[in-house]
């Protein structure tokens, strides 16, 4: 982790300290930086107020910074040493699009921090949540406080990471990308949840040298929290990677965190970004590695994770389209994270708190009772994730529940076509979760009647391989026909969606009826036949051949044209004895050959 003390210090009343961090200029062997995107930080050190006003309530308004001549920036954060005076807060406005924005209040936000007793919190600077802006070139900051004294080592960071060509290329790929549904996790109850498409740290341009090489881990996931980042929500898709880079810089360089605070980010377009790394540098980690401890919900970071939606949804409404995209992506990533632990998003999680900030609903030493998937405001004295996003939390839980519906895995019902003259059985295979009561039903497809059923309990998770010997419930062989073989299972009170396949018991084709010959003229003889009975499965083709020497030599087998029940013998000579053979073919094989001879008389 880069400690805040490594940042440039100065003793002037107000200075600009420009810090350039080039993402990708230096990368550890364990990371692949896929593109270079500079991150610029203009750091303003404030040692005294420019002016102060005593307000009617006895508090002070201290003017700290006022400049319309900055390099472009898109993120503002205020940090200091020690503790901010109670009820003090900062107000910020920026100059963008040739005008000043309204004043935005930024408070000390220890409820969003690392756990108070953690090494990460002890070594970090105090500070506000970062404020996302549009691209701005001016800044004004003031402090509203009961005291006229400034916090120690007060710094204002103006951070910017402009859209790069790699960002544009990434978004072009993202627009047409399809998630890899082969990368799945499986819950203990049998839910199969695909990993959603997540923009990796390497893809959004994380310089892994900025973070702590040795992150701290929990043992399991017990709950997930939904946050918002605060700040503007009028960014374009191409600007999102730069916003994440700016947040990464703010948390690691300005506040001195071990890494970016949140585990995942979702922009208003539904794009998911990997946040805090889940792996120590040089280590080999997988999606199922022990959960890394974040810095998002102070007092409750151990064994939890957080998804933060990019924007301030306390002040900015979301459109129906944005709400759908955000809800879907948050649900996908959260379902994927909790599935391996068998968590129900609507169940009650018991999360121990070690919060000492006073901004949690649960003080240190108590246990929070909250839904497994909660908004930050469910456990903290905060508006996060905002009055416009919070109403969608129940819908997000509902989507997660749908994604976590258990399913039968790797179902195989075979063969699906059987010769009735054989003794081949039908095998039903499936991977079942533990304590699954499975049922195999066989239904006559013609009349819907139940032909056969069997059921049993499988105590241990594993592969079921059941054999149906093609008999009914009385033990009699089933006749030729088509049957729906259905496998279903119940785990506790949860019914897994059934899976089925049609199995046809049939025969090879029946031989044709007697072959007939009609002499049309001196050159053409029509050779025809008719089916002996209706076939239970379609014929693949009808074929014939003939011989002129009593069967010593034969023409090649030929298919009839357009599946006709005849063919035309051309240039058959008068007085020559022709021997004709006909056979039929279906998916099970050939019929018996029917043969007849014919001697043209004219």
Q: Looking at residue 358, what is its pLDDT?
A: 79
Rg value, the chain, Cα? 37
Q: What is the separation of C-alpha 408 from the centre of its chain, rounded to a whole number of angstroms? A: 20
Strands 450-458 and 14-23: unpaired
Is 21 a residue whose pLDDT tops 60? no
The span from the CA of 232 to the CA of 316, in Å, is: 8
361 three-state secondary structure: coil
Instruction: Tell me the range of 120-124, 232-236, 427-431 where mean pLDDT is highest.
Output: 427-431
Helix and strand numbers (H, E) in the chain are 6, 38
Please list the alpha-helical segments (H only) found in 339-387.
Answer: none
Percent pLDDT > 90 in the chain is 69
The span from the CA of 203 to the CA of 275, in Å, is: 12
Is 482 a residue whose pLDDT tops 90? yes
The span from the CA of 87 to the CA of 534, in Å, is: 90
Give the model's confidence band at 121: pLDDT under 50 very low, under 70 low, under 90 confident, else very high. confident
Tell whether 307 and 329 lie within a shared domain: yes
127 versus 428: the higher-pLDDT residue is 428
Secondary structure percentages of the chain, helix, strand, coil, to 5:
15, 40, 45
CB-CB contact of 299 with 356 (8 Å): yes
Is 36 a residue whose pLDDT tops 80? no
The span from the CA of 582 to the CA of 464, in Å, is: 45
> The domain spanning residue 483 has which CATH number?
2.60.40.4070
Domain assignment of residue 182, given as a range: 165-403
The span from the CA of 247 to the CA of 369, in Å, is: 30
Strands 104-107 and 89-96: antiparallel
Residue appearing with tokens 């908004």:
375
Count other C-beta atoms under 10 Å from residue 292's C-beta. Answer: 21
Q: And the tokens for 299?
A: 């007092």
Give the model's confidence band at 289: pLDDT under 50 very low, under 70 low, under 90 confident, else very high. confident
Tell whether 95 and 178 lie within a shared domain: no
403, 435, 455: which is the final residue of a domain? 403
Mean pLDDT for the stretch of residues 201-227: 94
CB-CB contact of 207 with 33 (8 Å): yes
Tell whether 127 and 36 lie within a shared domain: yes
Q: Looking at residue 447, what is its pLDDT?
A: 95
Q: Is residue 415 part of a domain?
A: yes
Tell whether 236 and 291 lie within a shared domain: yes
Q: Looking at residue 287, what is its pLDDT?
A: 77
Tell whether 226 and 287 lie within a shared domain: yes
Q: And the tokens for 292?
A: 């890394």
Q: Is residue 11 part of a domain?
A: yes
Is 218 a residue whose pLDDT tops 80? yes
Residue appearing with tokens 């107020």:
49
Tell whether 153 and 288 lie within a shared domain: no
Give the model's confidence band at 398: pLDDT under 50 very low, under 70 low, under 90 confident, else very high. very high
Tell whether 218 and 295 lie within a shared domain: yes
368, 385, 403: which is the final residue of a domain? 403
Give me the chain's average pLDDT, please.
89
Residue appearing with tokens 């199995």:
503
Q: Is residue 337 part of a domain?
A: yes
From 32-41, 100-109, 251-260, 511-520, the region with the lowest mean pLDDT? 32-41
Is 15 a residue whose pLDDT tops 60? no
Tell whether 178 and 146 lie within a shared domain: no
Q: Is residue 370 part of a domain?
A: yes
Is 329 a residue whose pLDDT tops 60? yes
Tell whether 112 and 182 lie within a shared domain: no
> The domain spanning residue 579 has which CATH number?
2.60.40.10
Q: Is residue 569 part of a domain?
A: yes
Of 168, 184, 294, the closest CA to residue 240 belongs to: 168
pTM confidence score: 0.74
Q: Looking at residue 233, what is its pLDDT?
A: 74
Is 22 a residue whose pLDDT tops 60? no
Mean pLDDT for the stretch of residues 81-90: 90
Q: Looking at residue 426, what is its pLDDT?
A: 98
pLDDT tens sequence across 524-558: 999 999 998 889 899 999 999 999 999 999 999 99
> The domain spanning residue 274 has which CATH number?
3.40.80.10
Give the helix/strand (H/E) hosting 322.
helix 320-338
Q: Residue 572 contacts by C-beta under 8 Å, 6 or more apart in sequence?
A: 523, 524, 525, 578, 600
Q: Looking at residue 238, what is its pLDDT?
A: 93
Q: Looking at residue 33, what is its pLDDT?
A: 43
Give the model's confidence band at 178: pLDDT under 50 very low, under 70 low, under 90 confident, else very high. low
DSSP at 114: S
The span from the CA of 596 to the CA of 178, in Å, is: 61
82 three-state secondary structure: coil
Q: Looking at residue 179, what is its pLDDT?
A: 63
Q: Write the Ramachandran bin of 232: left for phi over 0, alpha for psi from -120 to 50, otherwise beta.
A: beta
Q: Looking at residue 35, what is its pLDDT?
A: 57
Q: Is residue 322 part of a domain?
A: yes
Q: Looking at residue 177, what is its pLDDT?
A: 67
506, 536, 567: which is the final residue of a domain? 506
Tell whether 463 and 502 lie within a shared domain: yes
Q: Looking at residue 450, what is its pLDDT?
A: 98
- In total, how many domains does the chain have? 4
Is 122 a residue whose pLDDT tops 50? yes
Tell whether 381 and 426 lie within a shared domain: no
104 versus 119: the higher-pLDDT residue is 104
Percent pLDDT > 70 in the chain is 92
> The domain spanning residue 19 has which CATH number?
2.60.120
Q: Is residue 511 part of a domain?
A: no
Q: Is residue 85 part of a domain?
A: yes
Tell whether 203 and 305 lie within a shared domain: yes
């Amino acid at each position: 982790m880069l400690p805040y003390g490594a940042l440039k210090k100065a003793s002037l009343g107000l200075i600009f300290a420009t810090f350039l961090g080039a993402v990708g200029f230096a990368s550890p062997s364990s990371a692949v930086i896929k593109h270079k995107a500079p991150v610029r930080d203009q750091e303003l050190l404030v040692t005294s107020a420019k002016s102060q006003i005593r307000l009617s309530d006895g508090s002070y308004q201290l003017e700290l910074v006022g400049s319309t001549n900055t390099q472009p920036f898109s993120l503002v954060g205020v940090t200091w040493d020690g503790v901010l005076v109670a009820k003090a807060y900062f107000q910020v406005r920026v100059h963008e699009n040739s005008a000043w924005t309204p004043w935005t209040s930024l408070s000390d936000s220890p409820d969003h921090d690392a756990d108070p007793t953690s090494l990460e919190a002890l070594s970090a600077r105090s500070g506000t949540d970062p404020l996302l802006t549009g691209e701005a070139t001016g800044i004004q900051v003031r402090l509203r406080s009961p005291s006229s004294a400034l916090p120690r080592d007060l710094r204002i960071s103006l951070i910017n990471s402009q859209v790069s060509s790699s960002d544009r290329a990434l978004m072009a790929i993202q627009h047409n990308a399809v998630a890899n549904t082969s990368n799945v996790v499986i819950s203990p109850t049998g839910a199969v949840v695909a990993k959603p498409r997540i923009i990796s740290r390497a893809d959004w341009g994380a310089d892994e040298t900025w973070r702590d090489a040795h992150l701290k881990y929990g043992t399991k996931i017990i709950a997930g929290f939904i946050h918002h980042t605060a700040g503007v929500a009028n960014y374009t898709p191409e600007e999102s990677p730069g916003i994440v880079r700016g947040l990464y810089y703010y948390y690691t360089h300005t506040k001195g965190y071990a890494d970016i605070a949140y585990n995942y980010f979702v922009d208003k377009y539904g794009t998911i970004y990997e946040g805090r790394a889940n792996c120590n540098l040089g280590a080999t980690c997988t999606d199922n590695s022990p959960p890394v401890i974040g810095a998002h919900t102070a007092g409750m970071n151990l064994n939890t994770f957080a998804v933060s939606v990019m924007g301030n949804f306390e002040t900015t409404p979301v459109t129906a389209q944005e709400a759908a995209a955000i809800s879907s992506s948050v649900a996908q990533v959260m379902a994927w994270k909790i599935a391996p632990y068998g968590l129900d998003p609507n169940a009650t999680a018991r999360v121990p708190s070690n919060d000492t900030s006073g901004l949690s609903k649960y003080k240190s030493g108590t246990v929070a009772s909250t839904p497994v998937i909660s908004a930050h405001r469910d456990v903290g004295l905060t508006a996060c994730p905002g009055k416009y996003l919070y109403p969608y939390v129940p819908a997000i839980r509902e989507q997660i529940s749908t994604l976590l519906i258990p399913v039968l895995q790797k179902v195989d019902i075979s063969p699906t076509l059987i010769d009735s003259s054989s003794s081949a059985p039908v095998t039903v295979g499936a991977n079942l979760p533990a304590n699954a009561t499975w049922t195999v039903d066989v239904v006559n497809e013609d009349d819907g009647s139940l032909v056969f059923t069997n059921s049993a309990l499988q105590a241990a998770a594993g592969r079921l391989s059941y054999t149906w010997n093609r008999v009914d419930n009385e033990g009699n062989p089933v006749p030729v026909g088509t049957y729906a073989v259905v496998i279903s299972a119940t785990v506790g009170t949860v019914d897994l969606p059934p899976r089925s396949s049609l199995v046809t018991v049939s025969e090879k084709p029946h031989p044709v009826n007697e072959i007939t010959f009609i002499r049309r003229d001196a050159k053409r003889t029509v050779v025809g036949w008719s089916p002996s009975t209706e076939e239970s499965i379609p014929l693949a083709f009808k074929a014939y051949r003939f011989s002129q020497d009593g069967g010593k030599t034969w023409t090649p087998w030929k298919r009839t044209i357009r599946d006709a029940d005849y063919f035309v013998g051309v240039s058959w000579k008068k007085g020559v004895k022709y021997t004709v053979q006909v056979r039929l073919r279906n998916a099970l094989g050939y019929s018996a050959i029917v043969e007849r001879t014919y001697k043209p008389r004219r």
